[in-house]
A = this chain, B = another copy of it.
Amino acid sequence: MRDYYTITELTREFGISTRTLRFYEDEGLIHPLRRGRTRLFRPSDRVLVRQIMRGKRLGFSISEIRQIIQMYKEPPGEVGQLKMMLTRIEEKRGDLRQKRRDLEETLAELDQAEESCLERLAELGVTT
């Protein structure tokens, strides 16, 4: 486990640009350290970037991703806030469950589409 990553190491690892990482910093999603002006990314920043990329692939917006990331952080000290957080966690879970249904349905339809193609190929006398 390395101490620090440079910005370009992370861009290569995740296939994104430096501009994108700076953008995420501007948006308050990550907070890399600085040596002078140069950013130093800790392993924990790297984990955050991984979570951001996951969120992006799932079609969450930056602000939704921000919300999700908040949930992973140390839970707050106040009871009201804790209960709020539990509510929001449940909401996000709802989103994700919807996405999962969407996903399974889409996969099923792709299976069907594939079968149609294979049938059609068989009709044409092509052995797959």
| A residues in contact (CB < 8 Å) with B | 51, 54-60, 68, 71-72, 74-77, 79, 82-83, 85-86, 89, 92-93, 96, 98-100, 102-103, 105-107, 109-110, 112-114, 116-121, 124, 126
Contacts and interface: CB of A to CB of B under 8 A. Distances in A.
A103 B51 CA distance: 11
Contacts of A112: 72
Chain A binding site: helix, strand, loop or mixed by DSSP? helix
Contact of A85 (B75, B99, B103, B117): B117
B71 A110 contact: yes
Contact of A106 (B68, B75, B82, B85): B68
9 contacts: A54-B106, A58-B58, A71-B110, A72-B112, A79-B124, A82-B121, A86-B117, A86-B118, A99-B99
Contacts of A60: 59
A17 B122 CA distance: 43
Given A86-B117, A89-B117, A110 B124 contact: no
A34 to B, nearest CB: 28
Contacts of A96: 103, 106-107, 110
